[in-house]
Amino acid sequence: MNDLSYLTGHYDAKIKKINDFGAPLNFIFFTDPHNRLNEDWCRKAGLKYELAANAAYSMQYILDRCPGISFVVSGGDIGDDYYPDMNVVRAQHKEIMDALYSLSVPVHCCIGNHDDVIGNAADHGWDQREFAILPDEMHALCMKYNPTPKNYYYFDDASGYRFVFLDVSDKHYVLGVDGRYPFGWRDEISDEQAKWFETEALNTDRRVIVFCHAPLHNAGIFGTEGMPQGMKPYDDMINGPRVYNAVKQCKNVVATISGHVHYDNLLYDDGLLVVTTLCAMMQKWAPGCPNREAGTITETAFDVFSIKDDLVQITRFGAGEDRVGMLGMRK
């Protein structure tokens, strides 16, 4: 393992803050590492690049000192789907998952829109019979702690919460006669998953937190394409409006947590806490994002969520700032 002191040497004050807060519920949220995406161009330019696995391995330093952290969530977009060799892409996916699975607590995963490789393959005209990581393969790679055969699930925690993990790449993976899939980057929640969410996942008296790679609804969400001119709309996610309507109708849902937009957002929609977390990838996506530098603490970014009563303390490790949110505001 690499020397991680350039990261962990900055962690102690944050660890003290988490422990001093004394929340009964704590988890890590790590999203959009895009493992090794920067490597190729940085090598050619003679620049340093980050290894996402280093950030993942460094989490054990935190876990060893914060016994209250009970699990890790990966928000998706784990590898470099731009690389034109599927053996390399698969190795990059496995590298980051091996690092996450080395940790001493369970790791729960959402699948991102880059993870199946199909969108980028479509853009480049690559053979999609080769350039595709299909749901069964993703399940074997990312769903170690998922007790179901699907790539979406929930679990109930001793803290009294239910945690739901949605799959926005739940598409109909059938090749057309031209040997291509009839979609590219499309985010989709299947009818089957939407029904499961409405009738099973939300059928509880517990407080519910929903994790999803992409935000289910884009109102007020700042991030990604066209920066800094505007926002990319996510309301075109198939069944996104249906699922978000179920969220809004179920007052037990107290928060949604996502990645995808490579930007820190924290807002309230009729009292529902909506959070997105900056990409772990070393990238300054928009002028409002913090500066990033390889070989320093700013090359990564991930959060520890600590929930005590209705207060949510969000402690940032890496680039960016700590945040605070509130639950229990829905009426």
* pLDDT digit string, tens, across residues 29-45: 999 999 999 998 899 89
Q: What pLDDT score was predicted for residue 185?
A: 74
CB 97 within 8 A of CB 142: yes
3-state secondary structure of 313: strand
Tell me 291's DSSP state. P
Span of 34-43, 91-100, 174-183 with lowest mean pLDDT: 174-183
CB 258 within 8 A of CB 167: no
Residue 169 has pLDDT above 60, yes or no: yes
Residue 331 has pLDDT above 90, yes or no: no
Comparing C-alpha atoms, which of 122, 150, 147 is closest to residue 135? 150
Comparing C-alpha atoms, which of 105, 192, 210, 104 is closest to residue 155? 210
Determine the distance from the C-alpha atom of residue 293 to the mean position of all C-alpha atoms in its chain, rounded to a whole number.
21
For range 77-98, the mean pLDDT: 92
d(CA 326, CA 324): 7
Bridge partners of 257, per DSSP, are: 211, 275
156 — phi, psi (to 5°)? -105, 135
pTM of the model: 0.95
- The answer for residues whose C-beta is within 8 angstroms of residue 196's C-beta and 6 or more apart is 150, 152
The residue type at 295: G
CA angle at 90 for the pair 84 and 95, rounded to the nearest 5°: 125
Q: Which value, to the nearest 10 degrees, does the dihedral of the CA atoms of residues 37, 298, 324, 166 take?
A: 10
Neighbours of 204 (CB within 10 A): 15
For range 207-223, the mean pLDDT: 88
3-state secondary structure of 298: helix
d(CA 32, CA 262): 7
- Side by side, the strands of the sheet bearing 207-212 are 153-156, 161-165, 207-212, 253-258, 272-276, 265-269
- Helix locations, the chain, DSSP H: 5-8, 12-21, 39-45, 52-65, 86-101, 118-124, 135-142, 191-196, 240-249
3-state secondary structure of 16: helix
The residue behind tokens 């060893």 is 64
Residue 80 has pLDDT above 90, yes or no: no
Residues in the chain, overall count: 331
CA angle at 284 for the pair 228 and 118, rounded to the nearest 5°: 85
H or E stretch covering 90: helix 86-101
Residue 158 has pLDDT above 60, yes or no: yes
**Per-residue confidence band for 226, with pLDDT thresholds at 50, 70 and 90:** very low
CB 202 within 8 A of CB 210: no
d(CA 114, CA 133): 10
Residue 77 has pLDDT above 60, yes or no: yes
Range 297-301 contact pairs with CB under 8 angstroms and sequence separation of 24 or more? 297/6, 297/7, 297/10, 299/50, 299/55, 300/7, 300/33, 300/50, 300/52, 300/54, 300/55, 300/58, 301/277
Q: What pLDDT score was predicted for residue 223?
A: 67
Which domains can be identified in the chain, with CATH numbers?
5-326 (3.60.21.10)
d(CA 34, CA 112): 10
